[in-house]
Amino acid sequence: MNFPTLPGHHRPLLEIPKLRREVKPLRLGTLSIDPPIFQAPMAGFTNYVYRQIVREFGGVGLQATEMISAEGFVHQVGGLKGTVERLWGVESEPRPLAVQMWDNDPDTLAEVGRRLAFDYRISVVDLNFGCPVRKVSEKAHSGSYLLKNPSRVGEIVSKVVKACAPTPVTAKIRLGCTLTCITAKEVAHVIEESGAALMTVHGRVAEQFFTGSADWDKIGEIKASLKHMPLVGNGDLDCPSKVVEAFNRYEVDGVMIARAALGKPWLFKQAAQALKGEVPMPEPSLAEQKDLLLRHHKAIVERFGEERGNMLMRKYSCCYAQGRSGASKFRAHASRCSTSAEFVAIVETWFPTDADIHPD
Ligand SMILES: Cc1cc2nc3c(=O)[nH]c(=O)nc-3n(C[C@H](O)[C@H](O)[C@H](O)COP(=O)(O)O)c2cc1C
């Protein structure tokens, strides 16, 4: 499975540090993001079913869909993996909810933003300036590719803000395209001056994909250089302690969590409790996690059908088992599974039962 894992030296910090400042809800116009903990957009993962499971545990101030292509939205293309598919459930889902989109054409993005804001009535329109995937960056000159072109970023943000008002428009960036071309500060200022309500920074450059560690010092420097726009820090947060440390050390206004919460959808709740100075809820027992995985499977198959649902569950299964003793055996079986009957049998037989954390 080629899903990127958190770097090995990023072990969860077991002790929760004391929160050294007050963490306030984030206000974007009339919207209150409380707590200021964001569920990241993740293509192929943060679909309706995942969002619902996260919502059940709670602790998230703002949830996001999978990223959509603005061009795909206009032309309604992309079949099963396309835009329409990715927006399934959005119209009737509880708010607040953000939809993220990518393209490099300000007018296309403004038109799609307007429709998301007024037809779908979503809470926040988010712009992607961080995607490192070739299809989006090198081929379509969008996502992280635009970090080389701050003036185009400014044009996009201005037009989308105008088209969506009063719905808040936010942006998500990486530090730059390459380690020798870090443009995040310049881009951040343009985003702020162009009227974005908030910006998220993932502390890596595009060429790193998910290697190395997120550079939180750089995130802190960008925050210190902004005039008024709130900044959300993102990268490698995999336990409540690291969330508290992000607020303590880097003055961020919010945090965003992605990979670590795929197999631990309760992480947001734990982080929210830690930010209130409460003891975070214990992880569900492995038996409860197994039941959750089976429930996740049932909902995914109901939503996507037997064939695609079971394909999708291969990815989630690996996330649920990650870091557990016996995970590799479970993964080997789950990653070949193609029917629901097989899936249930594999989970019943191979889902880790040993509570020891073991990175196999
Ligand atoms: C499978 C996968 C899909 C992702 N899709 C998106 C996306 O659609 N839009 C986006 O802005 N970031 C996307 N990201 C990046 C995450 O939102 C986040 O910035 C990154 O994973 C770092 O956070 P983490 O260390 O908490 O995982 C994706 C990441 C992964 C692993």
Q: How far is the CA of 38 from the centre of ligand 1 (A)?
A: 12
Question: What does the DSSP 8-state code read for residue 275?
Answer: H
Pairing of β 63-64 and β 169-174: unpaired
Q: How many CA atoms lie within 13 A of 11 on its CB side?
A: 7
* The predicted structure's pLDDT at residue 152: 98
pLDDT digits over 56-97, tens only?
999 999 999 999 999 999 987 655 557 878 899 999 999 999
Span from the CA of 41 to the centroid of ligand 1 (angstroms): 6
Q: State if residue 202 touches ligand 1 by the CB under 6 angstroms criterion.
A: yes
* Residue 345 to residue 330: CA distance in whole angstroms: 11
Q: Are 65 and 100 in contact (CB under 8 A)?
A: yes
Please identify, by atom number, the ligand 1 atom nearest to the C-alpha of residue 40: 17
Q: Give the pLDDT band (50/70/90) at residue 46.
A: very high
Alpha helix ranges (H) inside 135-255:
150-164, 184-193, 216-225, 240-250
Say what percent of the chain tops pLDDT 70.
Answer: 93
pLDDT per position as a tens digit, 12-35? 556 899 999 999 999 999 999 999
User: CA 221, 226, 232 angle in degrees (round to 5)?
Assistant: 70
Q: Give the integer Cα–Cα distance in Å for 43 and 277.
A: 33
Nearest-CA residue for atom 18 of ligand 1: 258
Whether the CB of 140 sits within 6 Å of ligand 1: no
Question: Above 50 in pLDDT, residue 2?
Answer: no
Query: In a mutational test of the pocket of ligand 1, which residue from 202, 243, 312, 314 has the highest number of ligand atoms less than 8 Å from its CB?
Result: 202
Region 273-294 average pLDDT: 94
Quote the CA–CA distance of 146 and 11 in Å, as a whole number.
33
- Residues belonging to the active site: 131
Query: Does 236 contact ligand 1 (Cβ within 6 A)?
Result: yes
Q: To test ligand 1's pocket by mutation, which of 62, 259, 316 has the most ligand atoms within 8 angstroms of CB?
A: 259
Are 157 and 125 in contact, with CB atoms under 8 Å apart? no
What spacing in Å lies between the alpha carbon of 53 and ligand 1's midpoint?
A: 18
Residue 215 sits at the vertex; the CA angle it makes with 212 and 220, to the nearest 5 degrees, is 170
Say yes or no: CB of residue 43 within 6 Å of ligand 1.
yes
What does the block give as tokens for 132?
Answer: 């490192």
pTM of the predicted protein model:
0.95
pLDDT at position 300 over 90: yes
| Segment 169-205, tens digit of pLDDT | 999 999 999 999 999 999 999 999 999 999 999 999 9
Q: How far is the CA of 153 from the centre of ligand 1 (A)?
A: 20
Q: How far is CA 114 from CA 90, 121, 123, 124, 339, in A?
A: 15, 9, 12, 11, 41
Interval between CA 58 and ligand 1 midpoint (Å): 20
223 lines ligand 1 (CB under 6 A): no
Q: Give nearest CA residue, ligand 1 atom 29.
A: 42
Q: How confident is the model at residue 354 (pLDDT cuts 50, 70, 90)?
A: low
69: which residues sit within 8 A by CB, 6+ positions away? Answer: 78, 82, 83, 101, 102, 103
